[in-house]
Structure 1
């Protein structure tokens, strides 16, 4: 049983803790954070199902004020674990890495950290083997994670030469205020980091693309123009996507009108927080135009990286050596059912 700790109990950390707790071959030792944040207070109201470790000792009185039991400090958690999932704010993980090295522990960092923090820039489906036995892995960002799922699925079946991507990026997570109130679009320079990151994980595929920040919170929207290495039909592309457990093919005509429809669908399913682990593609957006495969995908940014992070545990700890065996177990325990409409 692999012992796992989660450091940083925010948007991603909450979901990582829940995801690890569902794995039958892993044990969640506890979570660490610095203060009685709203997620920590919610954890208290739920009966403290996870042991809490305080990463900032001067805040002890603040935790005690709310009656939150403290199981120890950050180093206490690290010493008890085989591997740490670091979901802290960008830059904090690099500081924490020194502690992980001090105790000889493995760690997986989220997409906000710089790529050089880790031995491998990791994706469960695209380069699982490169993560085997490594001490430090870094996940791709939410957009890049979902993008690579689709490009990798096509590449393994028909081969992909290059991709051109356009990203309409949500400006903040639901509940975040740090972006302010805005009524504007903001354009990034070409190429966007998702295209660059895709090439780091899949160096045999050329990629470029644009990114536009938009003042919404429920998911990113990506359009991909992929150049295949052999002729393919729309029907074949649809079937490739339908076979992938972490890609769901839906239809506009069935009521999946956009990001809000998909977010509501997750809540209607009764998923905690309305989370969805899959990326969604609309069948009506999939087409073959001249020498390009065109399709659009929805990225549920709060939860999409959770399966690949758990894949990373399996790779780093060498729990499974085979890529498909590893991702299948992650999918099974997360109850990813491979349902399409």
Structure 2
């Protein structure tokens, strides 16, 4: 079996997790990762024995890498030439510049949620519109919040249909270790509607969505509350059944000890998951209630890892490895070990 060769540009919060995710895929080969400087993530890669080849995205700064003892296998051009497809996890705006390089060498690429939608041919989600990405040259993923939100909404939409959703996002203000946001003791509200609601409608145009976003001074995960109007009246028990059947949704409860976002982060660490990562979103059983025909529930979004499976789905779609959402997501889930806890 010929493996698809994948390169990762940007070795930060998302990039290092993308590299790990690709390395787990039995039908893919990670060519290497690229970054501009000996960041803490790159230094940690060296200390782990350089399990992945490193390529410099800023040759003019190679002296810094050499001084830090980072072995360099080439530059970004070399990585792109050696890859079939690139996962671009660079800072917002850099991916659009890198696209010129991908086009130069005739290589496909997948961009993250921070890039503008115009960078790609398809705004992509592994479950909601997989088939639209099949064969596409450039795909853009949704943000972490939108990725998890669409998983839950698409789950019920495929089961009974969804008319509209209204969301409130309680957003962590920064990733762990990010100091540039400052130390705060305040909440900050954005103008409505939130981009996540608008992005959901872009992926799922048949669903009316709106929402509010509140920034909170925490780092381990977002929480989204959803009020969803199904096309067919369903019970709480039925909603639980549909959610429980989704591989990338984990049902939890307060009585089990899952009191909030920090509980889920701690549980992921107790499981021994690298970096405390969790690919699944969590929905609290205790939060699912009805108001008339509307269903309300709360989701935990593990922002550092939630988009990794959908990125792998995007590779499968773009490279025509699997042609349907069921086949593509199933392969991704198998190699990442998603859903195994349901039968353990």
Q: Which TM-score bucket, shorter chain as reference? A: over 0.9
> What is aligned with 2:331?
329
- Cα distance in 2 for partners of 1:110, 1:16 equals 11
State yes or no: 1:266 paired with 2:268. Answer: yes
Name structure 1 gaps, 5 residues minimum: none
For each residue in 1:151-181, what CA deviation from the matched residue of structure 2 results, as whole angstroms up to 9, or x when unmatched?
0000000000000000000000000011011
Find the residue that maps to 1:137 and give its secondary structure. Answer: strand
> What is aligned with 1:194?
196
> What is aligned with 1:298?
300
> What is aligned with 2:94?
92
State yes or no: 1:211 paired with 2:207. Answer: no
1:340 deviation in Å? 5.3
Count of paired positions: 341
Find the residue that maps to 2:298 and give its secondary structure. Answer: strand
> What is aligned with 1:179?
181
> What is aligned with 1:23?
25
> What is aligned with 1:163?
165
Name structure 2 gaps, 5 residues minimum: none
- Cα distance in 1 for partners of 2:290, 2:335 equals 35
1:338 deviation in Å? 5.0
Describe how 1:1-341 pairs up with structure 2 within 5 A: 1-339=3-341
Find the residue that maps to 2:341 and give its secondary structure. Answer: coil
- Cα distance in 1 for partners of 2:207, 2:342 equals 28
**1:242 touches 1:248 (CA, 8 Å); kept in 2?**
yes
- Cα distance in 2 for partners of 1:340, 1:4 equals 30
Find the residue that maps to 1:339 and give its secondary structure. Answer: helix
- Cα distance in 1 for partners of 2:318, 2:45 equals 29
**TM-score, normalization by structure 1:** 0.99
- Cα distance in 1 for partners of 2:290, 2:336 equals 33
1:316 deviation in Å? 0.2
- Cα distance in 2 for partners of 1:107, 1:178 equals 29
**1:172 touches 1:179 (CA, 8 Å); kept in 2?**
yes
- Cα distance in 2 for partners of 1:47, 1:187 equals 44
Range with bigger deviation, 239-248 or 285-294 = 285-294
Return structure 1 stretches of 4+ with deviation > 3 angstroms: 338-341
**1:29 touches 1:81 (CA, 8 Å); kept in 2?**
yes
- Cα distance in 1 for partners of 2:4, 2:11 equals 20
1:339 deviation in Å? 3.4
Query: RMSD of the TM alignment (CA)?
Result: 0.9
For each residue in 1:21-76, what CA deviation from the matched residue of structure 2 results, as whole angstroms up to 9, or x when unmatched?
00000000000000000000000000000000001011111111121110000000
For each residue in 1:199-242, what CA deviation from the matched residue of structure 2 results, as whole angstroms up to 9, or x when unmatched?
00000000001000000000000000000001100000001000
